[in-house]
Chains A and B, each alone.
Chain A
Amino acid sequence: MQKLVNIPDLCAKALEMRREIIRMLGEAGSGHPGGSLSCADLLTALYFNVMRHDPENPKWSDRDRLVLSKGHGAPALYAALALCGYFPKKELVTLRQLGSPLQGHPDMRKLPGLEASTGSLGQGLSIGIGIALAQILDKKDYRTYVMISDGECNEGQIWEAAASAAHFKLNHLIGILDYNKYQLDGAVQDILNMEPMAQKWESFGWNVCEIDGHNMVEILEALEWAGKQAGGPSMIIAHTVKGKGVSFMENNNDFHGVAPTKEETARALRELGEK
């Protein structure tokens, strides 16, 4: 797999990923566009630039691991894995169909490249801690990335894990918060406000930085910064836009868990530069 080093190439890859996400969801007729689109740039940077991994050898013992704790964002992860070459791109449109390895939420038994099965929110950070502890026990050097979401931070287990990761000083554990300001029933600040978010993580003992989660330069800088932190885990709070890239989905929470119709799919793909 070829690592992308130029910003324009990475941005083009993110756009391609968004097109795949829309195609998959349009074809499936159900799923979560908003939270898949919001984390597309972050996953592009991770899979095409930052992470050490080998699609030919998904179980390579020195690989960096990524846990998608917000399991409903699966289409974004599937698109990243397919574009990297973990499985043929044409399989993407089988999303959510009977017998497909692309389950509605990630099933690690079914698809190469998945490090965890998720879908019940709040659990992935704990799994990441377990992986990071194994990395220390095995005297390895790999990094464990966990992608969480803002509504997910309502869950108590996230804060159990926040305390736990800091306690064990897991500096190879890197959290990425897809802070798109919405959860299912509405805006996070209205449903269960989690502000001040950065201070919460800081006070739990994490190294924290805040970035624009759609600015590729900032994303790469933040991931590099996180990789260098010592003394504890790092959390990248990525301010994102739910539905990013498709005008009628941006900040429109109707597209949290509703797939685009045929017409909407076509319109979205045009906006995303489909030729």
Chain B
Amino acid sequence: MAIEKKLGAATRDAYGKALIQLGKTNPDIVVLDADLSKSTKTALFGRQFPDRFFDMGIQEANMVGVAAGLASQGKIPFVSSFACFLICKTHDQLRMSVAFPELNVKVVTSHGGISVGEDGASQQSIEDIALVCTLPGFVVMIPADQYAAEKLVLRSAEWKGPVYIRTGRPKAPIVYSENDSFQIGKGVRLREGTDVTLVANGLQVFEALCAHEALKEKGIRSSVVDLHTIKPLDQTLLLEEAKRTGAFVICEEHQIWGGLGSAVSTALSKEYPVPMEFVAIQDTYAESGKPDELLEKYGLTSPYIVKAAERVLAKKAQLGRV
């Protein structure tokens, strides 16, 4: 039985909404954008709080430095642009001016992943998670749907120190509900099974839930874990899952190198190695197309997760860990 796909708001819309809420309750919140405020949804904040909104023009590097200066004076700056531009252009500024001095800057990008769609590879971000994860002290997150996005943006404002949140362009299938709560660094076990654990974040969480149903029909019992926070990683939850299922499929809308898969496999190979499969972008750039077509072509939809689960179960059997 397939689960119902109900599209909610895009996670970037949830970001825009959360910013308004933050703006109302916290006078220290300031927002900066690099001429993409209509797309990242910071324009909503800009309309309501013009004095605390700075459109910096197309100057990502300067924007990050300015945010650092604001943070050094006790403001809580949220800086936004597309994930590819902000993160790729300003790695040095994020390093020198934000991560190293441990300043309280919140970097929230939109248009993460390849589900950007028609605009094509230059506007799609497949490297951002890897890049930000290399910066010591940065929290790194990808929320799955509008509810997770809104709550995690609110949480990020309470967190002391640099945070990166990637949001997406298309409407995201609903995974959660209004009343669910989220904690930075704590994964969410959405399904519990004994055979294999499907770990995912962002849009991949819904795909993993679909895969869970398809696997159930084949008699395979899977756990589904939403690891919205890649850094710091929820080691406790991962270890519990590794010990219970002994096999992982890690699903992400990101380049296979340096993303969620790398983080989880690093953590588990140290503590409790289990066979793994990776559903991710296989070291290539994508192209123009409809988001759904791209996710399909680049191997990120639920049938690929099902196949990966079957492969990892075969490996597990070979290792005699059935």
- Enumerate chain A interface residues (CB-CB to B < 8 A): 67, 107-109, 115-120, 122-135, 137-138, 156-157, 160-161, 163-164, 167-168
Contact = CB atoms under 8 A, between A and B. Distances in A.
B65 A108 contact: no
B137 to A, nearest CB: 11
A108 B97 CA distance: 10
Nearest to B62: A160
Contact of A127 (B52, B75, B95, B97): B97
- Residue of A118, A128, A137 with most chain B CB atoms under a 10 A cut-off: A137
Given A109-B101, A137-B75, A127 B68 contact: yes
Interface string B93-116: 101110011100000000000000
28 contacts: A108-B72, A116-B68, A116-B72, A117-B97, A119-B96, A123-B92, A123-B93, A125-B65, A126-B61, A126-B66, A126-B69, A126-B97, A127-B66, A129-B62, A129-B69, A130-B69, A131-B72, A131-B73, A133-B54, A134-B73, A156-B61, A157-B61, A160-B62, A161-B65, A164-B56, A164-B57, A164-B62, A167-B57
Contacts of A119: 96
B65 A118 contact: no
A124 B61 CA distance: 11
Contacts of B97: 116-117, 123, 126-127
Contacts of B100: 107, 117
Interface in B58-101: 59, 61-75, 77, 92-93, 95-97, 100-101
Nearest to A134: B73
Nearest to A69: B65
B53 to A, nearest CB: 11
- Residue of B57, B65, B93, B95 with most chain A CB atoms under a 10 A cut-off: B65
Contact of A108 (B56, B73, B101): B101
Nearest to B100: A117
Contacts of B73: 130-131, 134-135, 138
Given A134-B70, A134-B73, A126 B65 contact: yes
Interface string B42-59: 000000000110101101
Nearest to A125: B65
A132 B52 CA distance: 13
Contacts, number: 104
A127 B61 contact: no
Nearest to B96: A120
B30 interface: yes
Contacts of B30: 133, 137
A128 B69 contact: yes
Nearest to B67: A130
B261 to A, nearest CB: 30
A180 to B, nearest CB: 23
Given A123-B96, A164-B66, 4 more contacts: A116-B97, A116-B101, A127-B68, A157-B93
A202 B153 CA distance: 41
B27 to A, nearest CB: 9
A245 B137 CA distance: 42
B65 A109 contact: no
Contacts of A107: 100-101
Contact of B101 (A117, A128, A134, A168): A117
Contacts of B74: 134
B69 A131 contact: yes
A130 B57 contact: no
A129 B69 CA distance: 7
A193 B92 CA distance: 24
Nearest to A108: B101
B191 to A, nearest CB: 43
A72 to B, nearest CB: 13
A204 to B, nearest CB: 13
Nearest to B105: A130
A164 B56 CA distance: 7
A113 to B, nearest CB: 13
A157 B101 contact: no
Contact of B62 (A120, A126, A138): A126
Contacts of B93: 123, 126, 157
B67 to A, nearest CB: 6
B102 A161 contact: no
A67 B74 CA distance: 16
B65 A120 contact: no
Contacts of B54: 133, 168
Contacts of B69: 67, 116, 126-134
Contacts of B65: 123-127, 129-130, 157, 161
Contacts of A168: 54
Nearest to B74: A134
A74 B164 CA distance: 30
A121 B72 CA distance: 19
A123 B74 CA distance: 19
A175 to B, nearest CB: 14
B70 A157 contact: no
B52 A161 contact: no
B102 A160 contact: no
Contacts of A156: 61
